[in-house]
Amino acid sequence: MLQPLLFHGPCKPTTITIELKGTIVAPRVVEDWKFREDNTTWIKFSSINGLVIVGGGKVDGQGSPWWIKYPKKSNENNKPTAIRFYNCHNLTLSNLTHVDSPRNHISINYCKDASISNLHIIAPEDSPNTDGIDIGSSTNVLINNSTMKTGDDCIAINNGSSFINISGVFCGPGHGISVGSLGKDKKYATVEHVHVKNCTFNGTSNGVRIKTFEGGSGYARNITYEDIVLVGVKHPVIIDQFYDPKYIDNVGQAVEVSDVTYLNIRGTSLDKNAIELNCDTIVGCTNIILDNVNITRVDGGEAQTICTKAKGKCSSCYPDVPCLSQNSSAIRY
């Protein structure tokens, strides 16, 4: 059993390697956790450059008692993240299994040049707030060849993040790969240069999602989703600028969503609305490009689209996206 632990740099060596061969386990009982200076994290690495963590081992966050004690989304700040990397540049994380974090499994904050690969992140579908990887205020982050089965976002790309490349990720169950949420409490937030490619979503509540709060400001731009496979996803393609109904009175001010491309997206939707572009009535979404998109319904019914205040182009799309200009007729394959 490992109590909460902080590794704090800076360190003299240019590279520090940690090999995890066995299993590290968090305290089973909530009251047994002995936090020191940071009660938001189980294991924290701070200001350590050139950190390499490998070895094929397992990180077990023993999250079940936390989920029972704090079951609601509003309680998420009462639960600790399993592993947090803060201000760690040239980070490598590979060949590890992470299970049952009390909250999100891995947080990447204020980091630059991170390479994350061959991870298995697993938590029950009904476990609250158990994101796979959360990225915030970080740049040049590469995530590839990983499997994530969680109770929340498989990957969430949050404020201050740029040049995020994700490929070869299997997500499901979970809430998909999300940009945001952005702009809560009227805050300024930015995300740009995101590329999600060759990913599969199986039985997730969302597929490729951008979510922002009404009343915020800033931008989410230059985002590409390419070569995506969807299997029984409830909301396959979604831009939601009304993420939380509590903020609906702030209509007319929003994080600007622009230059978003969906290329070669195919699969099946559980919901009748396979594509949802739900943009602010005044700010709207601009330069939204859909090219070679084919999403049918699991039950064989006619797939539909919600499209509000979005501008852009759609080429070879099924279902048709009526608020975007059409380069060719919708085709059902």
Q: Which of 9, 17, 94 is nearest to 44 (CA)?
A: 9
| Alpha-carbon gap, residue 12 to 4, rounded angstroms | 24
Q: How many other C-beta atoms are found inside a 10 Å radius of the C-beta of residue 19?
A: 11
At 259, list the tokens.
């230059």
Question: Is there a contact between 1 and 25 (Cβ–Cβ < 8 Å)?
Answer: yes
Burial 226-237 (b: 16+ CB within 10 A, else e): bebbbbbbbbbb
**Helix or strand holding residue 232 (H, E):** strand 217-233
* Alpha helix ranges (H) inside the chain: 64-69
Q: Which of 24, 34, 154, 16 is nearest to 92 (CA)?
A: 16
Three-state DSSP state, 131: coil
| Alpha-carbon gap, residue 74 to 78, rounded angstroms | 9
Q: Of 89, 98, 105, 175, which residue is the catalytic one? A: 175
| Alpha-carbon gap, residue 52 to 326, rounded angstroms | 48
At 2, list the tokens.
């490992």
Question: Is there a contact between 145 and 170 (Cβ–Cβ < 8 Å)?
Answer: no
Give one DSSP letter per residue of 26-50, joined into a string: --SSGGG----S-TTEEEEEES-TT
Task: Count CA atoms closer than 13 A to 295's CA, side-chain side.
Answer: 37
Task: Calculate the CA 274 to chain-centre distance.
Answer: 19
At 245, list the tokens.
């109904």
Q: Catalytic annotation on 175?
A: yes
Residues recognised as catalytic = 175
